[in-house]
C-alpha cells in the first residue's frame, strides 16, 4: 500500500531519514524508536507533507505527486492523518472539524460558500457517534478534553474515507484512560473496517498489544522490522539504549516520555 524506496529526507539541514526502504501493507503497523529517530518525519514524508529529498514514496504503486500538485492532494485524501497535538481548528465545533476531512472531496469554491454537499453532515455526525462524541458535536474543539479532541481528530481522518490512517504519536499527550480509548478506536478501525493503520508509539506494552508488525527506526534508519513477538527486551534495550525501556512499568499507552518541545496549549 505504502512503500518507500531508498527514501532520504533532510529536516532543517539535518538528515532525518536516510536510505529507508520499507513496504507497509494492511494491518496495524507500529513505528517505534527513540526521540529524534525520524518517526514523525517518516509519517509526514509518507503523507507528502514533507517532500522526499532523495528516493521516493509510493502510494498504491504510484510515486507521490509533487508538493502542491493535484495528484498529491488526491493521494493525501486517501491517507488520514492523526496528530500528537490533535491539530483541531480550535475555534470550530467538533462537527465542523470532522467536516474539514471532507474538504478535499469538495470543490474549493463550493467549500467557500459554506454549503455542504448532500449527506456530508450526516456522515460527520455518524463518525462522531462512532468515536462516542455524538453528544459533543456542537461543542467548540478547544472546550473538549485531550482524549475527546483526539477522537474528533480520528473522526476527521475517517471523514476523508481513507485507505490508511497515519497516526503520529496519537496517545503521547493523553492520560492512560484516554490513551486506551483512542487505541481501542484505532484498533477497531483496522480490525473492523480493514483500514491500514500506521502509528508512532512509545509504549512497548501498547505496541505488543495492538500491533501486527513493528518497525523500529534509529537515527533515521530502519533497524528492526518484524512481528511484535520478536521485539524482545534485549532488542528494545539495544534500540533505546541500556538505561531506558519506555512503557515498562507503565499503564498501557501511558507514556510519559514527552519530547521537550511539546506544546500544551491545546491539551
Partner 1 sequence: MTIRVPEPPLPIYRPPPAVLRNQRWRWAASATVLLIVALSLGGSEISLPRLTQGSVNIVHYLFGSAERPRSGYFPPDFSNGLVYLQQMLLTVKMAVVGTTGAVILAIPLSFLAARNTTPNRLTYQLTRRLLDLFRGVPLIVMALIFVAAVGLGPFPGILALAIHTAGILGKLFAEGIENIDEGQVEAVRSSGAHPVQVLSHGVWPQIIPHLLSMTLYRFESNVRDSTLLGIVGAGGIGYYITEAIRGFDSRSASAILIIILSSVFLIDFLSAKLRERLS
Q: List residues near partner 1 by CB under 8 A.
A: 12, 40, 44, 47, 49-51, 67-68, 72-81, 83, 85, 87-92, 100-101, 103-104, 106, 108-109, 111-112, 153, 156-157, 160, 260-263, 265-266
Q: Which is nearer to partner 1, 44 or 208 (CB)?
A: 44
Taking the C-alpha atoms of residue 87 and residue 153, their distance in angstroms, rounded to an integer, is 8
Query: Which residues touch 207 (CB under 8 Å, ≥6 apart)?
Result: 30, 32, 201, 214, 228, 231, 247
Closest approach of partner 1 to the CB of residue 228, in Å: 27
- CB of 225 closer than 8 Å to CB of 213: yes
Q: Pseudo-torsion of CA 95, 96, 98, 104, nearest 10°?
A: 150
- Among residues 131 and 207, whose Cβ is nearest to partner 1? 131
- Nearer to partner 1 by Cβ, of 99 and 185: the residue is 99
Give me the least distance between CB of 68 and partner 1, in Å please.
6
Measured from the CB atom, the residue of 138 and 249 that comes closer to partner 1 is: 138
Per-residue CA distances from 15 to 36, 193, 201 (Å): 11, 36, 22
Q: Hey, how many other C-beta atoms are within 10 angstroms of the C-beta on 220? A: 24
Residue 103 C-beta: closest distance to partner 1, Å: 4
Residue 18 CB, nearest approach to partner 1 (Å): 19
Amino acid at each position: 500500500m505504502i512503500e518507500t524506496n531508498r527514501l532520504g529526507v533532510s529536516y532543517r539541514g539535518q538528515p532525518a531519514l536516510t536510505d529507508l526502504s520499507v513496504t507497509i501493507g494492511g494491518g496495524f503497523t507500529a513505528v517505534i524508536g527513540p526521540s529524534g529517530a525520524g518517526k514523525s518525519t517518516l509519517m509526514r514524508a509518507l503523507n507528502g507533507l514533507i517532500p522526499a529529498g532523495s528516493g521516493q514514496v509510493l502510494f498504491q504503486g504510484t510515486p507521490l505527486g509533487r508538493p502542491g500538485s493535484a495528484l498529491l492532494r488526491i493521494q493525501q485524501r486517501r491517507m488520514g492523518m492523526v496528530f500528537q497535538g490533535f491539530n483541531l481548528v480550535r475555534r470550530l465545533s467538533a462537527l465542523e472539524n470532522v467536516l474539514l476531512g471532507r474538504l478535499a472531496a469538495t470543490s474549493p469554491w463550493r467549500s467557500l460558500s459554506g454549503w455542504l454537499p448532500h449527506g456530508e453532515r450526516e456522515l460527520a455526525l455518524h463518525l462522531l457517534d462512532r468515536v462516542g462524541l455524538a453528544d459533543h458535536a456542537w461543542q467548540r474543539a478547544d472546550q473538549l478534553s485531550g482524549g475527546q479532541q483526539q477522537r474528533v481528530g480520528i473522526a476527521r481522518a475517517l471523514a476523508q474515507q481513507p485507505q490508511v490512517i497515519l497516526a503520529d504519536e496519537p496517545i503521547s499527550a493523553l492520560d492512560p484512560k484516554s490513551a486506551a480509548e483512542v487505541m481501542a478506536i484505532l484498533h477497531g478501525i483496522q480490525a473492523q473496517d480493514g483500514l491500514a493503520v500506521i502509528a508512532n508509539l512509545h509504549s512497548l506494552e501498547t505496541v505488543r498489544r495492538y500491533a501486527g508488525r513493528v518497525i523500529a527506526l534509529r537515527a533515521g534508519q530502519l533497524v528492526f522490522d518484524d512481528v511484535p513477538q520478536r521485539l524482545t527486551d534485549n532488542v528494545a534495550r539495544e534500540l533505546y539504549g541500556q538505561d531506558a525501556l519506555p512503557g515498562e512499568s507503565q499503564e498501557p499507552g501511558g507514556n510519559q516520555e514527552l519530547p521537550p518541545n511539546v506544546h500544551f496549549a491545546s491539551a
